[in-house]
Amino acid sequence: MTQDIGIFSRSRLLLGDDVMTLLSQKRVIIFGVGGVGSWCAESLVRTGLCHLTIVDFDRVEASNVNRQLMATTSTLGQPKVEALRRRLLDINPDAEVTAIDGTFCQATIDDFFPADATPYDYVIDAIDSLADKALLILTACQRGMTLYSSMGAAMKLDPARICVAEFWKVQGDPLARALRNRFKRAHTFPARKFACVFSDEPPALSATEGKGSLVHITAIFGNMLASLVVRDICRLATSDTTRHE
d(CA 7, CA 13): 12
d(CA 221, CA 128): 14
Specify the pLDDT at position 116: 81
Neighbours of 205 (CB within 10 A): 9
Q: pLDDT tens digit string along 196-229?
A: 999 999 987 655 556 899 999 999 999 999 999 9
Q: What mean pLDDT, rounded, does the chain reach? A: 93
Domains observed in the chain: 28-244 (3.40.50.720)
d(CA 50, CA 53): 10
Q: Whole-prediction pTM value? A: 0.94
Specify the pLDDT at position 220: 98
Specify the pLDDT at position 118: 84
Specify the pLDDT at position 115: 84
Q: Look up residue 105 and give its amino acid.
A: C
Q: Tell me, what DSSP letter sits at residue 67?
A: T
Q: Percentage of residues in the chain with pLDDT exceeding 90?
A: 89
Q: pLDDT tens digit string along 107-149?
A: 999 999 998 888 999 999 999 999 999 999 999 999 999 999 9
Q: How many residues does the chain have?
A: 245
pLDDT surpassing 70 at residue 242: no
Q: Are residues 32 and 127 in contact, defined by beta-carbon separation less than 8 angstroms? A: yes
Q: Tell me, what DSSP letter sits at residue 116?
A: T
pLDDT surpassing 70 at residue 6: yes
What's the pLDDT band for 15 if we cut at 50, 70, 90? very high
Looking at per-residue pLDDT, the higher value among 49 and 3 belongs to 49
For residue 150, give the 3-state DSSP assignment. strand
Specify the pLDDT at position 243: 56
d(CA 118, CA 159): 35
Q: Look up residue 104 and give its amino acid.
A: F
pLDDT surpassing 50 at residue 1: no
d(CA 177, CA 69): 28
Specify the pLDDT at position 24: 96
99 phi, psi to nearest 5 deg: -105, 120
